[in-house]
């Protein structure tokens, strides 16, 4: 197992390195003059003098060769300095933490919803395979997956906030749970269908396995058979799916965050892009990639741990 | 294992219900009617978020002037005149010198006195950073004569000085400002709390120099999604959104009893910028032909439907301004004239297929514009209108950085954009469009000595009459040369909760939170 | 005493190709303490038979007939009562240990589970019991092995584990479903020894296709063909002479006897041949056999045979 971990770690660093190069190149692939972008007024298109623009370029080191700029940037990142915003001049690192916290809490909430509802629903549908509940369940899952995120969000707002009257439409508010409810449900729905379906399908497969009959032959109660023998095996690949889903939630669903004015990292990236604030975009992408890769990595390890076949095979 | 699962589920549900139950203090309840409550009323707004509090550098941050935090030396009144606000008076001593007198006894939110030092601090910053267009370069120097008197020296006679001091970026800010997470100004409201991307809260400035402030405070929330902010208005979560709601919500919003729904002309005019360096746009007749070819009224009706207020533009200065020259509103719809002018330029339908040909090939032009807002809608309509007259139009929908680059490289045919011809109601800003060093003129490849002269004379003229005369001329030249074809004015839909009163709506369609704004249910 | 009486047992599966009549029909009386072997080829219905006794097969089957265990009809019993008997009175040694063991649980867990199904015992007790059982099935290093997973066990060890699960509660009646399938000779021998040991003082129903194994362990053998018995005999008698032509063929097909295959292929359980089900392959087929379905005749010596050749010997 340790060799596996070692290998994956090397992969992780390698990919991150590549990402950093791509990320850094954004600056230069797009035909925009950073100085003009930072100092100009997009509304009236008025620009300061060339001397002032040039001064800006010098200050930010924009005139030096690319690889020098890249190395300096990389060096700073490794020291934890994620750069400063072109617009406000403030350090990006703190900003990222501020925004990421909020994406994180929303993701945890949404993931919780998915797990608590999608998994039992999947089990239920498998047990009542091809009966009414199964059809309804699968229909719901498919609809949830096919509806575009913004549409689902608006529907939820109308149903729960406008008609329901208890929940707020949008915003972070005071950070209390009620502000998380609608965006959390919307975010959860985006992955709900796939998790539920996978659980259901896995359960259906598992129920056909011989060891389920063995369990019955022992005299176990059906509930015990399903939960202990069935679910445990069905859950293995669902857990890894859930892990990946969580990772993508952490990347910050930009759509959900925009609609609900949720001040998360997706929102931050969007603003950065709109404002063409490159340092922000670069830093966010690096951080999000790192987190995403990290979770990927952890999920792989988790899979090995919970699937005894692989765990002990590797050792042997 | 099942026990833990059940417990977890129960915990989740319990948490949710508890969260829902906690008090929502942000709802505007139906308070006692008729009472103007002085001390507890907080108005809630959706606004355009910015991370910056630096009014001199960031144009969005400059909006804090409209939210009552910072103030300018002069302000524009309902008639469009620049009247003193923080200034007491400003007189011209001679052609190159002005004496600016400041009001006394005003303090910034943190107690720092408002005086000449603060004014110099503000203008030094503007000069140093040179941000947002270094177009205060007509100021040579500002010298403090005493605490409340400043002498201003200009490079040449500059008649529009007072108007320039109405611009939000010139708002006078306290020298104690760090601009990191707050702004210290002189306005009726001061910052109480700022939470990035979550909300900004201001409270009443008890020591406001201008008198008693009615509202207890205001809260500002982000609201980038236009549907979401509409919902928040319907649900009484905010009183007003400074960002417009979609045109498509007009009808729906009107059904909500608690809301006032109205349209505003936003001072931006949609125009077609023509690349005069590229044939056949270098031919004035062709440019005029395009102008005659489009039916502005039909376009406006298509876009705005039954929303009142769509305004077609027949000239460069919107007619609601007194600066508008009615003789220069000549951009009308005249199909025959258009065809005639095209013919003169060698563009005609030679094979009778209904489409015009130019240099042996079907006459095709590309219009580039943005995805957002009404741009796309509008160009699609223009496309069909032009097709009707025989011009083949291809559309390029892109982002503003691309259009910027193309303008710079003169690599386009027509750029459908929007500009504020009169910023802050001042005709001086026509120079930002038509002057030979202006971004738009440069992008269109337009430079006219005659135009430059008229603009210069206009800005320098000291008499009202002369200025009018000069700017009338500017408009005539603009319509004659036609580097830009005006199409229609940007009209946006807004909804305001009826309990909010006296949000100052000045002629520039900017809402201002003032000391007189109040809430009455 | 008759511990089990099976009467008219029928199990059919509807499939898209038609109704598979896997057990059709079986009558059998089992004495307490005896080891009875059910022999047949694949497709004879023997595993379905084994599963059907404890009603372990899927619900889409049509089951008719009675299985009376110690006076109670298992087919009509309510589920709860039946669960009470499973493992405790009737223990199953499952077929295919590789798939019958849960790959995600330790072997110790699964055996312990079997031991503790109907009793409340704490973890320590359970582990103790598990060790005892592992010892009984001769798994060495029991303490270590308990914590391992199925894929870490060899074929023979997996079989022992499955046997362990079956005997965990010391049931009176054991059903062993193909316990030696796929094992090589030496291992098979050991498993046979083990089965003999564990079936002492118990009744065992052994399902197999391996004649040698049946000979070693069983007192009586029933030969199953296309869902019914064609011959039931005491072991010694069967080895001396085979009555039914199918049994004869079966014996001749054994490697040590010349490995002569029986003509033709086993018929379909969906479209059963008319008359005697073996008639298409029978070297001694008569006209009568093609149309009439022979009953199970009982000879004077107690041997039963389903063949018109013996019609007069009752």
Convert the pLDDT of each residue in C5-49 to its tens digit: 999 999 998 888 888 888 988 999 999 999 999 998 877 788 889
Same domain, C213 and C302: yes
- What is the Cα–Cα distance from C202 to C159, expressed in whole angstroms? 19
> Which domains are assigned to chain A?
2-92 (no CATH), 96-315 (1.10.3720.10)
- Least confident piece of the model among B134-138, B217-221, C41-45: B134-138
On the question of pLDDT at B484 being above 90, the answer is yes
Does residue C28 sit within a domain? yes
Q: Which residues, in sequence order, are CB contacts of B31 under 8 Å at separation 6+? A: B37, B521
On the question of pLDDT at B132 being above 50, the answer is no
pLDDT, residue B259, reads 94
Identify whether the C-beta of residue A167 lies closer than 8 Å to the C-beta of residue B228.
no
Does residue C268 sit within a domain? no
On the question of pLDDT at C111 being above 50, the answer is yes
The per-residue pLDDT of chain B, averaged, comes to: 85
Which of A87, A150, A161 is opposite residue B58, by nearest beta carbon? A87
Confidence category of residue A85, pLDDT binned at 50, 70, 90: confident
Structure tokens at B250: 């007009």
CA-angle at B292, arms to B286 and B293, nearest 5°: 85
On the question of pLDDT at B34 being above 50, the answer is no
- Name the most confidently modeled range: A13-17, B35-39, B213-217: B213-217
Q: What is the mean pLDDT of residues B229-257?
A: 92
On the question of pLDDT at B8 being above 60, the answer is no
Chain C residues touching A233 at Cβ < 8 A: 102-104
Total domains in chain C come to 2
- How many Cβ contacts (< 8 angstroms) between chains A and B? 146
- What is the Cα–Cα distance from B462 to B457, expressed in whole angstroms? 10
Q: Please, what is the angle between helix A278-306 and helix A66-78, to 10°?
A: 50
Instruction: Please answer yes or no on whether C88 and A229 come within 8 Å at the CB atom.
Output: no
Query: Can you tell me whether residue B203 is helix, strand or coil?
Result: strand
Same domain, C298 and C157: no
- Count each helix (H run) and each strand (E run) in chain A, helices first: 16, 0
pLDDT, residue B508, reads 58
Chain C residues touching A307 at Cβ < 8 A: 104
- Least confident piece of the model among A192-206, B105-119, B157-171, B288-302: B157-171
Same domain, C79 and C203: yes
Share of chain C above pLDDT 70, in %: 99
Domain boundary among C170, C194, C228: C170
| Residue C99: exposure state from Cβ atoms within 10 A (0-12, 13-18, ≥19) | middle
Same domain, C161 and C192: no
In chain C, whose CA is at the least distance from the CA of A207?
A: C58
Q: B309-344 burial by CB neighbour count: b if 16+ within 10 A, else e?
A: ebbbbbbbbbbbbebbbeebbbbebbeeebbebbee
Identify whether the C-beta of residue A200 lies closer than 8 Å to the C-beta of residue A126.
yes
On the question of pLDDT at B271 being above 70, the answer is yes
Confidence category of residue A32, pLDDT binned at 50, 70, 90: low
Instruction: Please answer yes or no on whether B180 and A258 come within 8 Å at the CB atom.
Output: no
Q: Which residues, in sequence order, are CB contacts of B4 under 8 Å at separation 6+? A: none
Instruction: Write the pLDDT tens digit of every residue in A217-273.
Output: 999 999 989 988 988 888 888 988 999 899 888 876 888 999 999 999 988 888 887
Touching A (3+ Cβ pairs <8 A), the chains are B, C
Tokens 């511990």, located at residue: C3
Same domain, C147 and C20: no
Q: What are residue C18's phi and psi, to 5 degrees? A: 140, -175
Chain C residues touching A306 at Cβ < 8 A: 104
Same domain, C116 and C254: no
ipTM for this prediction? 0.87
Confidence category of residue B25, pLDDT binned at 50, 70, 90: very low
Does residue C224 sit within a domain? yes
- What is the Cα–Cα distance from A201 to C231, expressed in whole angstroms? 44
On the question of pLDDT at B28 being above 90, the answer is no
- A302 in reach of chain B (CB within 8 A): no
pTM: 0.80
CA-angle at B382, arms to B377 and B383, nearest 5°: 95
- What is the Cα–Cα distance from B372 to B226, expressed in whole angstroms? 12
In chain B, whose CA is at the least distance from the CA of A108?
A: B12
Instruction: Write the pLDDT tens digit of every residue in C97-106.
Output: 999 999 989 9
A contact residues 118-177, partner B, Cβ 8 Å cutoff:
150, 154, 157-158, 161-162, 166-173, 176-177
pLDDT, residue B16, reads 47
A contact residues 68-87, partner B, Cβ 8 Å cutoff:
85, 87
| Residue B409: exposure state from Cβ atoms within 10 A (0-12, 13-18, ≥19) | exposed
Chain B residues touching A176 at Cβ < 8 A: 19, 22
Distances (CA, A) of C253 to A230, C30, C248, C262, C263: 42, 28, 9, 7, 10
Confidence category of residue A313, pLDDT binned at 50, 70, 90: low
Which H or E run contains B440? helix B439-444
Instruction: Write the pLDDT tens digit of every residue in B380-410.
Output: 999 999 999 999 999 999 887 788 888 888 9
Does residue C284 sit within a domain? no
- What is the Cα–Cα distance from A171 to C23, expressed in whole angstroms? 67
* Domain encompassing residue C252: 2-89+172-262+293-310
Q: C116-141 burial by CB neighbour count: b if 16+ within 10 A, else e?
A: bbeeeeeeeebbebbbebbebbbbee
In chain A, whose CA is at the least distance from the CA of C79?
A: A221
Structural Rg of chain A based on CA atoms: 24
- C118 in reach of chain A (CB within 8 A): yes
Instruction: Write the pLDDT tens digit of every residue in B430-478.
Output: 888 898 888 889 889 999 999 999 998 888 888 888 889 999 999 999 9
pLDDT, residue C30, reads 94
Does residue C45 sit within a domain? yes
On the question of pLDDT at A82 being above 60, the answer is yes
Share of chain B above pLDDT 70, in %: 90
Instruction: Please answer yes or no on whether A43 and B9 come within 8 Å at the CB atom.
Output: no
Structure tokens at B322: 């007194």
Same domain, C196 and C304: yes
Name the pairing type of β-strands C203-208 and C220-225.
unpaired
Does residue C270 sit within a domain? no
**Residue from B142, B83, B136 nearest B428 by CA:** B136
Query: Can you tell me whether residue B490 is helix, strand or coil?
Result: strand
Instruction: Write the pLDDT tens digit of every residue in A272-285.
Output: 877 777 788 888 88
Identify whether the C-beta of residue B159 lies closer than 8 Å to the C-beta of residue B461.
yes
- What is the Cα–Cα distance from B230 to C239, expressed in whole angstroms? 91
Same domain, C196 and C138: no
- C30 in reach of chain A (CB within 8 A): no
Counting CB pairs under 8 A, whether chains B and C reach 3 or more, is no
- Name the most confidently modeled range: A154-168, B27-41, C51-65: A154-168
CATH of residue C303: 3.40.50.300
Largest interatomic CA distance in chain C: 68
- What is the Cα–Cα distance from B256 to B236, expressed in whole angstroms? 10
Domain boundary among C170, C198, C214: C170
Q: Please, what is the angle between helix B284-293 and helix B335-344, to 10°?
A: 160
Instruction: Write the pLDDT tens digit of every residue in C250-305.
Output: 888 888 888 888 878 887 888 888 899 999 899 889 999 999 999 999 998 889 99
Instruction: Please answer yes or no on whether B231 and A49 come within 8 Å at the CB atom.
Output: no
Instruction: Please answer yes or no on whether C94 and A214 come within 8 Å at the CB atom.
Output: yes
Structure tokens at A19: 């990402």
Identify whether the C-beta of residue B108 lies closer than 8 Å to the C-beta of residue B71.
no
Q: Which residues, in sequence order, are CB contacts of B113 under 8 Å at separation 6+? A: B106, B107
- What is the Cα–Cα distance from C255 to C264, expressed in whole angstroms? 18
- What is the Cα–Cα distance from A184 to A104, expressed in whole angstroms? 11
Same domain, C83 and C181: yes
- What is the Cα–Cα distance from B372 to B377, expressed in whole angstroms? 9
Tokens 């047990």, located at residue: A127
Same domain, C213 and C303: yes
**Residue from B56, B279, B291, B304 nearest B185 by CA:** B56
Does residue C276 sit within a domain? no
pLDDT, residue B506, reads 65
In chain C, whose CA is at the least distance from the CA of A206?
A: C102
Distances (CA, A) of A127 to A132, A307, B300, B330: 11, 24, 59, 76
Tell me the Ramachandran region of residue B187: left when phi exceeds 0, alpha when psi lies from -120 to 50, beta otherwise. Answer: beta
pLDDT, residue B151, reads 94
Q: Which residues, in sequence order, are CB contacts of B137 under 8 Å at separation 6+? A: B155
Q: What is the mean pLDDT of residues A287-297?
A: 86
Domain boundary among C116, C146, C170: C170
Chain B residues touching A42 at Cβ < 8 A: 59, 400
Q: What is the mean pLDDT of residues A211-220?
A: 92
pLDDT, residue B144, reads 93
Identify whether the C-beta of residue A90 lies closer than 8 Å to the C-beta of residue A170.
no
- What is the Cα–Cα distance from C180 to C298, expressed in whole angstroms? 31
Does residue C277 sit within a domain? no
Same domain, C258 and C185: yes
pLDDT, residue A261, reads 92
Same domain, C85 and C133: no
Q: Write the DSSP assignment of C237-252 as a string of letters.
A: HHHH---SHHHHHHHH
pLDDT, residue B15, reads 45
Instruction: Please answer yes or no on whether A176 and B439 come within 8 Å at the CB atom.
Output: no
């Amino acid at each position: 197992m340790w060799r596996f971990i070692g290998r994956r770690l090397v992969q992780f660093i390698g990919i991150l390195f590549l990402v950093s190069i791509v990320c850094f190149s954004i600056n230069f692939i797009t035909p925009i003059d950073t100085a003009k972008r930072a100092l100009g007024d997009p509304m009236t298109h008025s620009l300061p003098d060339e001397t002032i623009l040039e001064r800006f370029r010098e200050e930010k080191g924009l005139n030096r060769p690319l690889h020098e700029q890249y190395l300096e940037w990389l060096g700073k990142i490794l020291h934890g300095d994620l750069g400063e915003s072109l617009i406000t001049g403030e350090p990006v690192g703190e900003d990222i933490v501020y925004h990421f916290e909020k994406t994180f809490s929303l993701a945890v909430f949404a993931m919780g919803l998915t797990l608590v509802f999608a998994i039992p629903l999947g089990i239920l549908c498998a047990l009542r395979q091809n009966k009414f509940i199964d059809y309804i369940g699968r229909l719901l899952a498919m609809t949830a997956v096919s509806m575009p995120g913004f549409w689902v969000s608006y529907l939820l707002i109308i149903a729960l906030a406008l008609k329901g009257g208890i929940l707020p439409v949008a915003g972070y508010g005071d950070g209390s749970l009620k502000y998380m409810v609608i965006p959390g449900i919307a975010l959860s729905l985006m992955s709900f269908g796939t998790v539920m379906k996978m659980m259901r399908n896995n359960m259906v497969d598992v129920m056909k396995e011989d060891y389920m009959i063995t369990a019955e032959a022992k005299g176990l109660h059906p509930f015990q058979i399903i939960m202990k023998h069935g679910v445990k095996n069905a859950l293995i690949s669902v857990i890894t799916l859930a892990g990946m889903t969580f990772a993508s939630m952490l990347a910050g669903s930009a759509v959900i965050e925009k609609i609900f004015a949720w001040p998360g990292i997706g929102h931050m990236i969007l603003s950065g892009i709109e404002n063409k604030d490159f340092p922000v975009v670069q830093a966010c992408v690096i951080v999000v990639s790192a987190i995403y890769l990290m979770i990927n990595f952890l999920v792989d390890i988790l899979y090995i741990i919970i699937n005894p076949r692989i765990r002990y095979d590797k050792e042997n | 294992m099942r026990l833990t699962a059940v417990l977890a589920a129960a915990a989740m549900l319990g948490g949710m219900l508890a969260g829902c139950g906690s008090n929502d203090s942000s709802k505007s309840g139906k308070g006692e009617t008729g009472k103007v409550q002085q001390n507890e009323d907080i108005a809630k707004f959706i606004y355009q978020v910015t991370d910056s509090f630096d009014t001199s550098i960031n144009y969005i941050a400059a909006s804090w002037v409209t939210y009552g935090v910072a103030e300018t030396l002069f302000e524009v009144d309902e008639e469009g005149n620049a009247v003193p606000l923080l200034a007491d008076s400003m007189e011209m001593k001679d052609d190159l010198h002005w004496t600016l007198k400041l009001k006394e006894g005003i303090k910034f939110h943190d107690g720092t006195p408002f005086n000449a030092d603060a004014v110099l601090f503000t203008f030094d910053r503007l000069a140093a950073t040179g941000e947002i267009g270094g177009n205060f370069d007509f100021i040579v120097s500002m010298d403090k004569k005493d605490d409340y008197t400043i002498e201003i020296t200009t490079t040449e006679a500059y008649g529009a000085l007072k108007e320039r001091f109405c611009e939000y970026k010139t708002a006078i800010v306290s020298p104690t400002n760090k601009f990191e997470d707050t702004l210290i100004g002189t306005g009726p409201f001061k910052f109480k709390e700022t939470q990035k991307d979550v909300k900004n809260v201001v409270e009443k400035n008890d020591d406001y120099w201008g008198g008693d402030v009615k509202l207890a405070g205001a809260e500002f929330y982000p609201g980038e999604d236009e549907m979401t902010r509409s919902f928040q208005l319907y649900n009484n979560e905010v009183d007003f959104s400074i960002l417009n709601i979609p045109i498509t919500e007009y009808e729906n919003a009107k059904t909500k009893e608690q809301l006032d729904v109205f349209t505003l002309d936003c001072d931006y005019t949609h125009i077609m910028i023509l690349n005069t360096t590229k044939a056949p746009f270098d031919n004035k007749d062709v440019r005029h032909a395009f102008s005659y070819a489009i039916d502005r009224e039909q376009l406006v009706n298509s876009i705005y439907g039954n929303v009142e207020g769509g305004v077609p533009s027949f000239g460069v200065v919107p007619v609601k301004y007194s600066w508008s020259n009615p003789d220069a509103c000549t951009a009308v719809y005249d199909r025959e004239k258009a065809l005639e002018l095209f013919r003169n330029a060698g563009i005609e339908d030679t094979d009778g297929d209904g489409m015009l040909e130019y240099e042996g090939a079907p006459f095709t032009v590309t219009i580039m514009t943005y995805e957002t807002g009404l741009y796309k809608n509008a160009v699609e309509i223009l496309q069909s209108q032009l097709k009707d007259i025989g011009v083949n139009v291809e559309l390029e929908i892109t982002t503003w950085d691309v259009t910027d680059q193309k303008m710079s490289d003169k690599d386009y045919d027509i750029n459908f954009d929007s500009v504020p011809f009169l910023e802050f109601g001042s005709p001086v800003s026509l120079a930002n469009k038509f002057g030979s060093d202006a971004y738009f003129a440069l992008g269109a490849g337009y430079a006219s000595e005659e135009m430059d002269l008229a603009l210069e004379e206009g800005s320098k003229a000291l008499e009202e009459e002369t200025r009018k005369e000069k700017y009338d001329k500017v408009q005539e030249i603009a319509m004659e040369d036609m580097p830009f074809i005006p199409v229609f004015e940007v009209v946006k839909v807004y909804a305001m909760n009826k309990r909010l009163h006296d949000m100052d709506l000045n002629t520039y369609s900017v809402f201002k939170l003032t000391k007189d704004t109040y809430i009455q249910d | 005493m008759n511990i089990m009486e099976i009467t008219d047992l029928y199990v059919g599966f509807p499939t898209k190709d038609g109704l598979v009549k896997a057990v059709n029909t079986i009558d059998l009386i089992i004495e307490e303490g005896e080891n009875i072997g059910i022999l047949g080829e694949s497709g004879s219905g023997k595993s379905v038979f084994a599963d059907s006794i404890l009603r372990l097969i899927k619900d889409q089957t049509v089951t008719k007939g009675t299985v009376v265990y110690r006076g109670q009809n298992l087919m009509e019993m309510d589920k709860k009562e039946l669960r009470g008997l499973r493992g405790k009175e009737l223990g199953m040694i499952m077929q295919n240990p590789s798939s019958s063991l849960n790959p995600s649980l330790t072997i110790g867990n699964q055996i312990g589970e079997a031991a503790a199904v109907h009793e409340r015992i704490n973890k320590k007790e359970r582990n103790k019991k598990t060790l005892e059982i592992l010892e009984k099935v001769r798994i060495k290093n029991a303490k270590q092995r308990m914590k391992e997973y199925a894929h870490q066990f060899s074929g023979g060890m997996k079989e022992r584990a499955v046997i362990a699960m079956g005997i965990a509660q010391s049931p009176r009646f054991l059903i062993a479903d193909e316990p030696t399938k796929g094992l090589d000779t030496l291992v098979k021998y050991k498993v046979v020894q083990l089965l003999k040991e564990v079936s002492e003082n118990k009744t065992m129903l052994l399902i197999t296709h391996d004649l040698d194994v049946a000979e070693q362990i069983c007192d009586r053998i029933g030969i199953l063909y296309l869902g019914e018995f064609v011959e039931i005999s005491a072991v010694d008698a069967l080895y001396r002479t085979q009555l039914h032509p199918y049994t004869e063929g079966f014996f001749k097909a054994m490697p040590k006897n010349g490995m002569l295959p029986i003509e033709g292929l086993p018929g379909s359980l969906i479209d059963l041949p008319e008359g005697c089900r073996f008639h298409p392959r029978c070297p001694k087929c008569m006209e009568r056999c093609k149309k009439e379905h022979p009953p199970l005749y009982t000879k004077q010596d107690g041997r039963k045979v389903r063949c018109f050749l013996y019609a007069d010997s009752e």
